[in-house]
Amino acid sequence: MKIRFKFTRSGPMRFIGHLDMMRYFQKAVMKSGIKAAYSEGYHPHQIMSFAYPLGVGMETDGDYMDLEMTEDCDPEGLMEALNSVMHEGTYIKEVSVLSDTALNAMASVEAADYLLYIDGDPEKLKKAVSLMLDMKEIAAEKSGKNIREGIYEAYVSDDGNAVFLKLSSGSKLNVRPADVFAAIRKCDETLSLRMIKRLEIYGSEDGKLTPLIKCGVAK
């Protein structure tokens, strides 16, 4: 039975890298005593996969981990068991049972929402964001690819201290929030990025962007 967990990460735990997060979840599974399935072979490991690596320094309100279980179990009970051994700063907030044919978390990713916390003048920020949206071409730092069409939404929050982004993600066009900020900063160099928080990761159901917790769910 495949289970999808939606988790959050906040506070100092954001300074942990992706591989260490995986090790952290493996330990939590061991501690909780839930019946995770193991791979075959000489180095059996828990069959666990993550939707999208969380960069060092990032917080999240909605990241995903899939875990295979040896037997059918009550998903709410699993969530409770894991949360009882999880460390302060990471919590599981939702859980769903996947159908046997569901795509794994990583292969499902289509888009993600972000909040970029910015230090700088709110008016300047608003102007820079709208200038950025007027650009026809925005190059990704690493690949040089034009990522402009992958920026689905970008607007400044009411208090003027953050930018909301909806970005194309996954194998087709992966837009990194840091690249978008680099483009904003090109429009105004007084702005600086304090922190990135991922808000949600989407897959696709019936051609519509849908939070991963509702993708591939068993009927």
Partner 1 sequence: MKFEDRTTALPADVLMRVDKPARYIGGEPGSVMKDEKDVKVRFVMCFPDVYEIGMSHIGMQILYGMFNSYEDIWCERLFSPWSDLDKIMRDENIPLFSLESGKPVKDADFLGFTLQYEMCYTNILQILDLSKIPFYSKDRTEADPIVIGGGPCVYNPEPIADFFDMFYIGEGEVRYRELMDLYEEHKEKGLSREDFLRAASHVPGIYVPSLYDVSYDKNGRFTGMTPKYEDVPARVEKQLVKDMNEAFYQTNPVVPFIRATQDRAVIEVQRGCIRGCRFCQAGQIYKPVRERSAENLLKQAQTILKNTGYEELSLSSLSTSDHRELKVLLETLIGYCNENKVNISLPSLRIDAFSLDVMDKVQDVKKSSLTFAPEAGSQRMRNVINKGLTIDDILNGSRLAFKGGWNKVKLYFMLGLPFEREEDAVAIADLCNEVAKVYFDTVPKEERHGSVQITASSSFFVPKPFTAFQWARMNTPDEFIAKAKITKQAVRNELNQKRISYHYHDCGTTIIEGIFARGDRKLSASIEYAYNHGAVFDAWTESFSYEGWMTAFKETSVDYEDYIYRVRDDDEAFPWDFIDCGVRKEYLLNEWKRAAEASVTPNCREKCAGCGCAVYGCGVCTEKRS
Contact between 40 and partner 1 by CB under 8 A: the answer reads no
Angle at alpha carbon of residue 39, lines to 36 and 43, rounded to 5°: 115
17 lies in the binding site for partner 1 (CB under 8 A): yes
SS3 210: strand
Q: Can residue 16 be called a binding residue for partner 1 (CB under 8 A)?
A: yes
Q: Which stretch binds partner 1 (CB under 8 A): 9-17, 62-70, 97-105, 181-189?
A: 9-17
Task: Indicate whether 73 belongs to the interface with partner 1 (CB under 8 A).
Answer: no
Q: Which DSSP string corresponds to 52-104?
A: SPPPTT-EEEEEEEEEEBSS---HHHHHHHHHHHPPTTEEEEEEEEBPTTPPP
Identify each DSSP E strand in the chain by its residue range. Answer: 2-9, 48-50, 59-68, 90-97, 111-119, 151-156, 162-168, 192-205, 208-211
> ∠ at Cα 193 (191, 194), nearest 5°?
125
For residue 189, state whether it binds partner 1 (rule: CB under 8 A): no
Q: Which stretch binds partner 1 (CB under 8 A): 25-33, 104-112, 132-140, 167-175?
A: 25-33
Which residue in 93, 186, 194, 214 binds partner 1 (CB under 8 A)? 194
Between 59 and 110, name the residue whose CB sits nearer to partner 1: 59
- Residues at the interface with partner 1 (CB under 8 A): 10-13, 15-17, 19-20, 23-24, 26-31, 38, 42-44, 56-57, 85, 87-89, 194-195
